[in-house]
């Protein structure tokens, strides 16, 4: 099983920017924790970060046929990007949206995520631990899909 983690704009600045909102942990540290979880659970994991909307759309599309799950923090694009929303919907890969801060307790323009509408779930407000929760969620979803496929194959073989 393979998970692709896609990080949006300004997340490369974690540990530096607005620590009172996002905390002191750097993106590399979050990725290392995710990799540790992935290794313990037999998951291949790949990381991608871009400040550019089109590159994020391209990376989502590249997941088609290559990834079993996506964890995405679209960051500010959550509230504005129909292109990212449409890319997530188009690939039909289970996707968990992550936000370090509680977007519902922030400015009004951050309270609505248009990308969340096409995701299997959203985890927000748990700081960097949000990514760990997303790993648990995507693993569960991928295992359920695998079990359903195996059951369907079994039924086809039994006739």
pLDDT attached to residue 41: 96
From 22, 77, 131, 132, active-site residue: 22
Of 12, 117, 101, residue with least CA distance to 56:
12
User: Quick check: is 22 catalytic?
Assistant: yes
Strands 2-7 and 69-73: parallel
d(CA 60, CA 46) in angstroms, rounded, equals 12
Mean pLDDT score across all residues of the chain: 93
pLDDT tens digits, 82-125: 999 999 999 999 999 999 988 887 777 777 899 999 999 999 99
- Confidence band of 65 (pLDDT split at 50, 70, 90): very high
For the whole model, what pTM was predicted? 0.92
Structure token digits, residue 50: 């871009």
Strand (E) or helix (H) holding 97: strand 95-99
Of 32, 52, 53, residue with least CA distance to 128:
32
From 77, 99, 131, 132, active-site residue: 99
User: Quick check: is 99 catalytic?
Assistant: yes
CATH number belonging to domain 2-158: 3.40.50.9100
Structure token digits, residue 159: 């006739």
Cα R_g (the chain), whole angstroms: 16
Structure token digits, residue 37: 């979880």
Domain residue limits, the chain: 2-158
């Amino acid at each position: 099983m393979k998970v692709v983690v896609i990080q949006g704009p300004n997340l490369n600045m974690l540990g530096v920017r607005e620590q009172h909102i996002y905390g002191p942990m750097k993106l590399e540290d979050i990725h290392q924790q995710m990799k540790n979880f992935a290794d313990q659970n037999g998951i291949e994991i790949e990381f991608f970060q871009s400040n550019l909307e089109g590159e994020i759309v391209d990376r989502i599309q590249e997941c088609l046929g290559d990834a079993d799950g996506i964890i995405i923090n679209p960051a500010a694009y959550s509230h504005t990007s129909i292109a990212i929303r449409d890319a997530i919907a188009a690939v039909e890969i289970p996707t968990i949206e992550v936000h370090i801060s509680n977007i519902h307790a922030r400015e009004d323009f951050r309270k609505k995520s248009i990308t969340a509408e096409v995701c299997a779930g959203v985890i927000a407000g748990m700081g960097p631990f949000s990514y760990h929760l997303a790993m648990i969620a995507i693993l569960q979803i991928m295992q359920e899909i695998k079990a359903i496929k195996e059951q369907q194959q079994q039924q086809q073989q039994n006739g």
